[in-house]
Amino acid sequence: MAVLLLLTLPIRLDAHAVLVKSSPAAGSTITGTFLPVSVTFNSKIDAARSKITLVGPGQSEQALAIRGGNAPNTLNAEADHLKPGPYRLEWQVLAIDGHITRGQIPFTVK
Ligand SMILES: [Cu+2]
């Protein structure tokens, strides 16, 4: 029994940040040139050691200034001067368990 506990403990402590929801949502289409960004995870994250990059038409990249959210599991940012075309947000976050996770949120500007 003690051995079983030791084996399962590391798994239970594991708490990588997993994306819960985002604005814009993945696959969504937005209008306008200004874009508020909000990304929420399933665990607390270190906003100072996390980043969001906006990749736009022609693979242009822009690092967005990150603000912590109202909640410790949310990142906020904003982008402006958007032109119509395909975009994606590339996020990389550091969770409180010390693990980095990353992912992409594709969306379209009309
Ligand atoms: Cu982890």
- Residue 80 structure tokens: 């402006």
What's the alpha-carbon Rg for the chain, to the nearest Å? 17
d(Cα 45, Cα 56) in Å, to the nearest integer? 26
What's the CA-to-centroid distance between 57 and ligand 1, angstroms? Answer: 33
Cα 9 to ligand 1 centroid, rounded to whole Å = 13
Tens digits of per-residue pLDDT, 19-76?
999 999 999 999 999 999 999 999 999 999 999 999 999 999 999 999 877 799 999 9
pLDDT of residue 4: 53
Closest CA to 53 of 90, 88, 22: 90
Ligand 1 midpoint to CA 86 (Å) = 31
105 DSSP β-pair partners: 89
Q: What is the pLDDT, as a whole number, of residue 9?
A: 47
Distance 98 CA to ligand 1 centre (A): 7
Distance of CA 97 from the midpoint of ligand 1 (Å): 5
Dist. CA 101 → ligand 1 center (Å): 8
Q: What pTM did the predictor assign?
A: 0.84
- Give the Cβ contact number of residue 53 at 10 Å: 16
| Residue ranges of domains in the chain, CATH in brackets | 15-109 (2.60.40.1220)
pLDDT on residue 30: 97
